[in-house]
Structure 1
Amino acid sequence: MTRIAGVFPVLPTIFDADGRVDREGFARVVDYVIASGADGCVFPGLASEYDELTLDERLDLMALAGELTRGRIAFVAGAGGRSDAESAALALAAKQAGAAALMVVTPHRLDGDEAGLAAFYRYLGSVADTPIMLQNAPRPMGLGLSPDAILRLVEQAPAIRYVKEENMPCGQRITALLDGAKGGLDGVFGGAGGRYITDELARGATGTMPACELAEMHAAMFAAHRAGDEGQVRRLFERMLPVLLMQAVFRWRLTKEVLRRRGLIDSAFVRAAGPAFDAMDHRELTQMLLLLEDLTGPLSHPAAV
C-alpha cells in the first residue's frame, strides 16, 4: 500500500439548523477539500465532534466519505470506539470504505495498561488488515503517551504504521519518534490544529492533519515545503496564524462558521459543548477572513447571521 503523506484536513460533521446530520453539506465540504489540493482527508476525528455522533451516524458518514473520495484523494478513517467491539465495527466499515489507514486514539478504558493497549492495536490490525495511525491526543481527549511508550507499542503491535502526535512540545516529540523508530514507522503526522506546522515539517513530519476551514492555504504551504521554499512556508503560516489561534479557542464552532461564511454550508450548528461567539468575536473573525480573501476568494457571507 502506498504510504500517505501531506495535508489531510479533518472533516467536520455538518448539521442543519435543527441539529440533524446534513449529508449534502458534508459532501460540499469534501468536494472543497479535494479542490483545495489536499492530499487526503480524515473522518471522523476530534474536530468532527465524533463523541456527539451515534454509531449509525459515524458509519453512514464514513461510508459517504469513502464514496466521495475514492479515486480522488486518500481517506483516513477514525476508528476509535467506546469498546473493542465498536472499534472493530468501525475498522471493518473503514476498510469497506476504502480507507488508506485507521486513525485510532488511545482509549481511556486502557489507561495505564500498556500490555492491554498493545493487544488492542494488534486486534484492530487483525480485524481490518489496514495500517493503523495511533492518535496520541493529549489528556483528556486521549492518554498523552510519551514517545518511549509509543515506540514500545509500535514494537508490540506492528499494525501501527503511523503516529499523529498532538502533545506539547509537538516538534520535540516528533523528533523522538522518528529517531527512535529507526524506520519502524511509515510516518509521523502533526495535529494540534496546524499551529506548530513549521517546526514539525522542519523536523521531518510526514504531514499534517489540521481542521479544514483553510484547506487551500495548508495545501499551498505543504506544496512550498515539498519545493524547498521555507520562506513561502513561513509566509503562508503567518498569514493564517490568527485564524488558527482563534480556532484553538472555539474549535469546531470556528471551523463551521468559516465554512458557512465561505458559502459551503448552510448552518454552523454544533452539538458539542464549548465557547460560543459574541458580537466582538464575530467582528474579529470578519477582519481576519477579509485579510485572506486574496488567497481564499471572497466571502459569500462576510458577516454573522
Structure 2
Amino acid sequence: MADLAGILPVLPTPFTQDGKVDLQAMRRLVRFALDCDVDGVVFPGFASEVEQLEADERAELLGLVAQEVGGKVPVVAGASAPTAADVIAHGRVAASVGVTWLMIQPPVSIGREAAAVTAFFSEVAAGLPEARIVLQNAPAPRGSDIAPQVLVEVARAVPQIAYVKEETLPAGPAISHLLAHRPQTLAGVIGGGGARYILDEYARGACAAMPAIEIADEHVALDRAWREGRIAEAREVYVRTLPLLTLQAVYRMRLTKYVMIRRGILENTVVRAPTPELDGPACSDIDANLAALGIGAPQAAVAGGAR
C-alpha cells in the first residue's frame, strides 16, 4: 500500500437543489481533484458534512469515489464514530469498496488519557486487521486536543496507526514533538487546519496536508515547489491563497461549493450542515480573491444562489 504524502483534499458532499446527494456532481469533484494532480483524496470528513449523511448515502458516495479514483491515488475514508464498534462497521464498508486507509478521530467521550485512547484504537485495530489508520487529533470542542506525548504513547502501542493528522492549535510544536519521538511504525504526520498553516507544518516535517478542494491546484503547486526546494515560490503561492483560506475558515462548506460553482464543477451551494450564509458582500469578497488567483470570472447565474 502506498504511503501518504502531498496534497490529499477532503471532498465535499454535493447536494441537489432539493437536498439529495448528487452522484454526478460527486464524480465531477473527483475528476477535478485528479485533474489537479492531487496525491490522494479523503471522504467523508468534517468538510464532507459527514454528520449529516445517512449510512447508505455515505456508503454509496464512498463507493463512487473509490470507483472514480480507480486506484490512481490513495483514498482515505473517514471512519470516526462514537464507539469502536461503529468505527469497525465504517471500516468494513470501506474495505468492501477496496479502501483500507481509515482516518479516525478518538471520541471526545473517552477523554484524553493514554490508556483510554490506546484501548479504543486497540479495539478498532483488532476488528480491522488490514486497515492502516490515520489518527485525527482535532481541536476542542469537536475533538479532544490530545497532547503529543499521549499520541506518541498510543502510536507506539498500536502499530496500525501509520499517521497522525495533527489539527490542534498551534499544531506546529505538536508536529515537531511527534516527529522527534515517533515510533518506527509511525510513517509521518499530516497537517490540518485547511492549509492555513501549511508552510510551518511542512517546515517542521509534515509529509502531507488535507485541505478543502476548491483550490487544490494551488495547493499542489505549493507542495511541488516546496518539495523541489523552491521555497520562495511556495511562499508566494501561500501568500496569494491565504486570504481565501481565511474566508474558508468562516464560511466552510458554503465557500467551497461557491468556488466550485465558479470553477464550473458544481451547480449550487446547498448544504445540510449549519454553516454561515453567504450574502452579497461575502460573495463579492470571494470573487475578488478568486480574481487575484486568476480563477474564472463569476458566472451570470448561480443555481440555488448562495444558500
TM-score by length of 1: 0.95
Asked if 1:30 corresponds to 2:39, the answer is no
Distance in 1, matches of 2:94 and 2:246, equals: 32
In the alignment, residue 232 of structure 1 is paired with which amino acid? E
Deviation at 1:144, TM superposition (A): 1.1
**CA–CA distance in structure 2, aligned partners of residues 213 and 50 of structure 1:** 18
Corresponding position of 1:285 = 286
The alpha-carbon deviation at position 303 of structure 1 amounts to 6.7
Q: Deviations over 1:127-174 (max 9, x none)?
A: 221110000010111111010111111122111110000011111111
How many aligned residue pairs are there?
302
- The ranges of structure 1 where at least 4 consecutive aligned residues each deviate by more than 4 angstroms after the TM superposition are none
> Could you tell me which amino acid in structure 1 is paired with residue 136 of structure 2?
Q
1:84 aligns with 2:84: yes
AA paired with 1:301? Q
What are the Cα deviations for residues 208-233 of structure 1, in whole angstroms up to 9, with x where unaligned?
00000000011111111111110111
Contact persistence 1:261–1:303 (CA under 8 A): no
**Structure 1 contact 11–42 (Cα < 8 Å) conserved:** yes
Relative to the length of structure 2, the TM-score reads 0.94
Output the CA distance in 1 between the equivalents of 2:239 and 2:89. 41
Is 1:97 aligned to 2:97, yes or no?
yes
Aligned to 2:248: 247
Distance 1:302 1:76 in 2: 36
Aligned to 1:257: 258
Q: Which amino acid aligns with 1:140?
A: P
The reply to whether residue 56 of structure 1 matches residue 26 of structure 2 is no
Task: Name structure 1 gaps, 5 residues minimum.
Answer: none
Residue matched to 1:236 = 237
Deviations 1:277-300 (A, max 9, x none): 11111111111111112xx4x246
Q: What do the CA deviations read for 1:224-263 (whole angstroms, capped 9, x no partner)?
A: 1111110111011111111100001111111111111211
Match runs of 1:86-235 below 5 Å: 86-112=86-112, 114-128=114-128, 129-235=130-236
Assess if the C-alpha contact under 8 Å between 2:134 and 2:164 holds in 1: yes
CA–CA distance in structure 2, aligned partners of residues 291 and 222 of structure 1: 20
- Give the structure 1 partner of residue 299 of structure 2: 301
For 2:43, the equivalent position in structure 1 comes to 43
Q: Following TM superposition, by how much is the alpha carbon of 1:100 offset from its aligned partner in structure 2, in angstroms?
A: 4.8
CA contact (8 A) 2:218 2:237 kept: yes
Q: Could you tell me whether the CA contact under 8 Å between 1:286 and 1:303 is conserved in 2?
A: no
RMSD: 1.5
Contact 2:155 2:183 in 1 (8 A): no
Q: Distance in 2 between matches of 1:139 and 1:303?
A: 38
Q: Is the 8 A contact 1:15 1:21 kept in 2?
A: yes
Paired amino acid for 2:275: G
SS at match of 1:134: strand
